Amino acid sequence: MQTPENQELNDDELFEHHRVIASKGQEPLRVDKFLMNFIEYATRNKIQQSAKSGHIWVNGVIVKQNYKVKPGDEVKVLFEHPPHEFLLVPEDIPIDVVYEDDVLLVVNKPAGMVVHPGHGNYSGTLINALLYHVKDLPNNSSERPGLVHRIDKDTSGLLVVAKTEAAMTHLSKQFFDKTSEREYVALVWGNVQDDEGTVEGNIARNPKNRLQMQVFPDGDDGKEAVTHYSVIERLGYVTMVSCKLETGRTHQIRVHMKYIGHTLFNDERYGGDKILKGTTFTKYKQFVDNAFKILPRQALHAKTLGFVHPVTGEMMRFDSEIPQDMVECIEKWRHYSQHSK
């Protein structure tokens, strides 16, 4: 029997290997649907193609796409994807450069752009664009050239990129030491009670859905995460808030705000694409659906960024405009809240 460990691969093939253990509370679920919950950007068609190719195993046995996953099952899947060299091809993609000198640049990433190549996104990423703009970006331990930090695909806003090895080391240490400054603007469900506050709670992968992160308040799991928030404007059933990061964990603001009962507006992964506050009468539902169409992503923008320049030692601070889709959505809520009192 062939397993992922002993299967022979052709020289011109490269596979991406995922392994998931179904939790004790797992209800019977088709393996293709099960894997959709654990592999970011994997389409159901891609998973089904793997099944047809004999590249899905459960407990070491090849299964078809309609196999029902049970508690404790070990599920493994292999995907073909382009070789690593192909993933890092320079592409002539426009980027919004806010600042640039010999050692770094600051870019304003649009919503919808993936930061670095990975499964399901082999081109069109910010890294592809940066490699065209800067010929020799320094690599880091995760082989993501120039990247000091990241923001999610559907989050817009500011990123600093290193152009030299020395700048990479210097900037990375600032983010590790929590001396960099980052402020985000978010629109969240509900009327945030306190004008300001701090959310503390370790963050790690959700064991039942690996595409989600989760707060572990006891600190037994995950990594320390601290978010400071303050209310910018109350808009009835939603609130505009400022979030300042003390740490930089995956999905930190999205997870922390949900943890305190204020999921980001239209954050599909964490349930913010449902009507979470207000009434369900037809006109209100239609209003919210229209707001979702205006802002078809989580309402989150990395607005400001601050760090010490690696060479000059100067404190650099950058600010960006809230993008048009968020502005229009906020205006819509502002109008609604003023006329529904």
- Catalytic positions, please? 152
Backbone region of residue 91 per phi and psi (left: phi > 0; alpha: psi in -120 to 50; beta: other values): beta
* Angstrom distance (rounded) from CA 235 to CA 238: 5
Alpha-carbon span 60 to 7, nearest angstrom: 12
Beta-sheet pairing, 300-308 with 156-162 = parallel
Q: Report in angstroms the alpha-carbon separations of 161 from 44, 172, 224, 240, 272.
A: 34, 10, 25, 28, 30
User: What are the counts of helices (DSSP H) followed by strands (DSSP E) for the chain?
Assistant: 8, 17
214: which DSSP letter?
E
11: left (phi over 0), alpha (psi -120 to 50) or beta: alpha
Q: Are 302 and 158 in contact (CB under 8 A)?
A: yes
Contact 204, 213 (CB under 8 A): yes
Tokens 């929590």 appear where? 178
